[in-house]
Amino acid sequence: MAVIVKGADVAGSIKENIRERIIELNNLGKKAKLTMISVGDDPANASYERGIIKVFSELGIETEKKVLDSNIDQCEFDSAFTEVNEDAAVSGILVFRPLPKSLSIEFAAKTINPLKDIDCMGYYNQASLAMGRKDCYYPCTAEAVIRFLKYEKIDLAFKNVVIIGRSVVVGRPLVSMLISENATVTCCHTKTRDITDRLRNADIVVTAAGSRGLLKGEMLKDASKDCFCIDVGINMREDGKGICGDIDFESTEPVCGKITTVPGGVGSVTSTLLAEHTVRAAESL
């Protein structure tokens, strides 16, 4: 039976540190504030947003939501973004994506103040991350995976990590972050021939595909016996009752060393890291 590593425990250790930093910020007369920008009120963002508001209010960090009209044009979107970007009272900016097809994120990604870019949507932080710098903002979901590994005190040197998924938000940044932590990384995706073969000798597997039941226990037959399986995926359960990840928990949990769950895993750490980044932004501005 695997050890279940709980998101609440990882998040709890991060929150302790955030609370101390908020006290210090207040002593300096500074305040952290997150502004979330969305175009239209997409229900797909609702659960993420609820999670953010819950964590931020628990920590006493201000949040604000700017819902822009779904018929907004590029010029209006860019100027609404600039207004937030230039607002001295805003320390962190989160733009809910994807934007509607009629809009581009290009201007925002080019112009966002790198110190306010708490989820690494801007080109400055993305390039810094790709170059292996550790002083930039990392995308919160990818960083959440790293925090699970740190929480479990896993030294990544000489470890084989397999990531399933190569998106700009999770898979790709995670490749860079893990290489910077000295891991040996394999990234699988929809055009990978035989994922089971790639899992040979894997010490850590991260699923970030958005494909229910993608990782099955039998695929780990040649992986390390104490392999740590971390599930980033969020999918609707087959019966429509709630969410599940990419890992088929029933077959995987008995054959790996450690595992995370969905819900109760990476998601809860993601919103806590957003709070940590918002506080860090307020410290640096």
Binding mask 177-196 for ligand NAD (x = CB under 6 A): -----------xxx------
Smaller CB distance to ligand NAD: residue 85 or 165? 165
Binding mask 200-229 for ligand NAD (x = CB under 6 A): --------xxxx--x---------------
- Least Cβ distance, residue 141 to ligand NAD (angstroms): 4
- Separation CA 53–CA 25 (nearest Å): 20
- Separation CA 20–CA 15 (nearest Å): 9
> Which residue stretch of 70-78, 83-91, 166-174, 249-257 sits at the interface with ligand NAD (rule: CB under 6 A)?
166-174
- Least Cβ distance, residue 192 to ligand NAD (angstroms): 6
Place of tokens 């980044």: 277
Contact 119, 36 (CB under 8 A): no
Dihedral sign (CA 133, 17, 279, 122): positive
Contact call for residue 171 and ligand NAD (CB under 6 A)? yes
- Separation CA 214–CA 109 (nearest Å): 32
Applying the rule CB under 6 A, the residues between 131 and 150 that interact with ligand NAD are 141
- Least Cβ distance, residue 93 to ligand NAD (angstroms): 17
Q: Cα angle at 154 between 148 and 191, to 5 degrees?
A: 70
Q: Checking DSSP bridges between strand 33-39 and strand 92-95, what pairing results, if any? A: parallel
- Separation CA 59–CA 12 (nearest Å): 11
Compute how many residues bind ligand NAD; rule: CB under 6 A. 23
Smaller CB distance to ligand NAD: residue 208 or 279? 208
- Provide the binding-site residues for ligand NAD, judged by CB under 6 A: 141, 164-167, 169-171, 188-190, 208-211, 214, 232-235, 266-267, 270
